[in-house]
Structure 1
Amino acid sequence: MSNDALLLSIVIPAYNEARRLPATLAAIRAYLDTQSYGAEVLVVDDGSSDGTAELAASYPGVEVLRLEHRGKGFAVRAGALAAQGSYVLLCDADLAVPIEEWPRFEARLRAGDAVVIGSREGVGATREGEPWYRHVMGRVFNYIIALVALRGISDTQCGFKAMPREVAHELFRRVRIYGDDAPVVQGAAVTAYDVELLFLARKLGYRISEVPVHWQYGTETKVNPVRDSLRNLRDVLKVRWNDLRGRYRTEVTPTHKMSVD
């Protein structure tokens, strides 16, 4: 299939996801089989040691990018830059937001929005199975994000995000925290790469919108409340520090005007 025939690239970062990935890939394949457009599925293996890459490669129509283990932010970036579809959809390996939400994101993109992000907090959003303390932690973290770097977005961390390919390539080429020089890490590394991505989108003047989604908490989540909260806080502070140092300067004038819905 030629690149021109591809409407959608689905990018799935995966670290030791041999247990959860089969159900996700099956659900995505079943959905895509009912669609008339071309799509590619990119599983970005973040240095897994459990056979994730081999398992993903066994599924027809799935491409696998094999990386050293540098964390989720680096894996998402690699997948987004490799994407060839007209639109790039980022989603988590557990498919916490069902793929059936995609048409609502596509509609926003076709209407001219440059970055469309899932929100677990908007009117109409639903959260299923989430422990109360995780919800509280998420709201506190979002308050810190708004205070330090990024106001006006209710949920920066939902893993379901979409953008046109040219926007994805522009943004991910500019990220600093999890760019080409990101170090090799040990263990699961959930990061706040989303904050830098959205900060850059706003700085470039791209129009950002939020879509309320149905989200299901994963019982096998790799999030460590203490370790990852500290890492994410560090990432948010780095975004502000990078901006103060002028590391996000740009002369690009995007065609998509800025707004947050």
Structure 2
Amino acid sequence: MESIASESTQPLVSVVIPAYNEERRLPHTLQRVNAYLAAQNYPSEILVVDDGSTDGTTRVVETFAQQHPTVRLLKNDHRGKGYTVRTGMLAAHGHIVLFSDADLSTPIEELEKLMPWFERGYEIVIGSREGVGAQRIKEPFYRHIMGRAFNFVVQLLTVRGIQDTQCGFKAFRDDVAQDIFSRMLLYGDNAKQVSGGMVTAFDVEALFIGHKAGYRIKEVPVQWRYGTETKVNPLKDSYRNFCDVVRVRWNDVRGLYNLPHTSRPRDASSPAPKRVQSK
């Protein structure tokens, strides 16, 4: 993995953006995320993790980073979204680490809904397309039905009580992110190189590890817009996601997740991050 640029001051928030052949969408995404974070009264950083793109993705990020020193670029071989997100989460410097899809299907402004829950003691706060107040914009009906069917399987086999494990907008306390993502097995250090776009259920494994370790998880309804340029293949990716859930369950049966969690407890010298009013 190659890292470009650095930030000397520890940020409160890190935004991790996985990117595979996102040359077209990234300029708008980086402008919007950077503008939002710049308007907040706390230090922040943006990490774009390139998943072995074959277009001009890295060039776009490098050009933007030259004018914005809080932007970093990490380069991976093409190993899929799960490995890409994991790379960014483990490399982030912020006290709160959010990963967000490159198409901003959930607007970055929705972060405002997640931040207060860290002050209330939650270690993991995730955006949800379900529940009162959630908005699903322009989603095909069949996709919603497929999503609910998948969630039924997830709750049956792995993570109970979470209505939406697949929204690409999840925030973790820094030490908790380090603990969870370093323990992931499906798309960890042994992840193989792949071809083409690859959407997986790495979210399920992350949440399962977090739940099993006793971390408090808060599901927050957010706005989400279905992207017409989505890279998701409904049939192929649904099958892969189902297999991932079964693999998580099998790993658990074999005791592979039975490790004590390693995050440090908060004390007076390491307080929970406080929400700060926008400028």
Structure 2 match to 1:120 = 129
Alignment gaps of 5+ in structure 1: 257-261
What amino acid maps onto 1:205 in structure 2? Answer: G
**TM-score with structure 2 setting the length:** 0.89
Question: C-alpha displacement at 1:251, in angstroms?
Answer: 2.2
Q: Is the 8 A contact 1:114 1:163 kept in 2?
A: yes
Q: What is the one-letter code of the residue matched to 1:212?
A: P
TM-score, with structure 1 as normaliser: 0.95
Matched, 1:204 2:210: no
Do residues 13 (structure 1) and 18 (structure 2) align? yes
The answer to whether the Cα contact below 8 Å between 1:205 and 1:253 also exists between their aligned partners in 2 is no
Separation in 2 of the partners of 1:148 and 1:158?
19
Q: How do 1:184-223 residues align onto structure 2 when only pairs under 5 Å count?
A: 184-223=193-232
Q: Once structures 1 and 2 are overlaid, which stretch shifts more, 226-235 or 56-65?
A: 56-65
Displacement after TM superposition at 1:98 (Å):
0.9
What residue number does 1:259 align with?
none
Q: Does 2:226 correspond to 1:228?
A: no
What is the 5 A alignment of 1:234-253?
Answer: 234-252=243-261
Q: 1:27 and 2:36 equivalent?
A: no
| Percent of aligned positions that are identical | 56
Output the CA distance in 2 between the equivalents of 1:3 and 1:134: 42
Secondary structure of the corresponding residue to residue 74 of structure 2? strand
Alignment match of 1:46 (pick from 28, 51, 55): 51
Shift of 1:253: 7.0
CA contact (8 A) 2:179 2:262 kept: no
The aligned length equals 255
Question: Quick one: distance in 2 between partners of 1:83 and 1:201?
Answer: 18
Counterpart among 79, 83, 87 of residue 74 in structure 1: 83
Alignment partners' CA distance in 2, 1:220 and 1:172: 28
Partner of 1:73, secondary structure, is helix
Q: CA deviation at 1:3?
A: 3.9
2:8 counterpart of 1:2: yes
Query: 1:153 maps to which residue?
Result: 162
Indicate conservation of the 8 Å contact 1:70/1:182, yes or no.
Answer: yes
Distance in 1 (CA, whole Å) between partners of 2:144 and 2:211 is 26
Q: Contact (CA 8 Å) 1:119, 1:212: kept in 2 or not?
A: yes
Take 1:91 and 1:252, find their aligned partners in 2: how far apart are those partners? 25
Say which of 51, 60, 74 aligns to 1:65: 74
- Provide Cα deviations, 1:112-154, integer angstroms capped at 9, x if missing partner: 1011011101111001011111111111111111111111100
**Pair 1:108-2:117 in alignment:** yes
2:126 match: secondary structure:
strand
The root-mean-square deviation of aligned C-alpha atoms, in Å, is 1.2
Q: Which residue of 2 aligns with 1:94?
A: 103
One-letter code aligned to 1:150: V
What is the CA-CA distance between 1:252 and the residue it aligns to?
2.9
Confirm or deny that 1:144 pairs with 2:150: no
**Kept in 2: contact 1:18–1:55 (CA 8 A):** yes
Cα separation, 2, equivalents of 1:27 and 1:143: 35
Measured in 2, the distance between the counterparts of 1:199 and 1:189 equals: 21
Structure 1 residue 162 and structure 2 residue 171: aligned? Answer: yes
Does the Cα contact within 8 Å between 2:126 and 2:220 map onto a contact in 1? yes
8 Å CA contact 2:179, 2:261 repeated in 1: no
The amino acid that maps onto 2:135 is T
Any unmatched runs of 5+ in structure 2? 1-6, 267-279
Find the aligned partners of 2:212 and 2:36 in 1 and give their Cα distance: 35
Match status 1:132 vs 2:148:
no
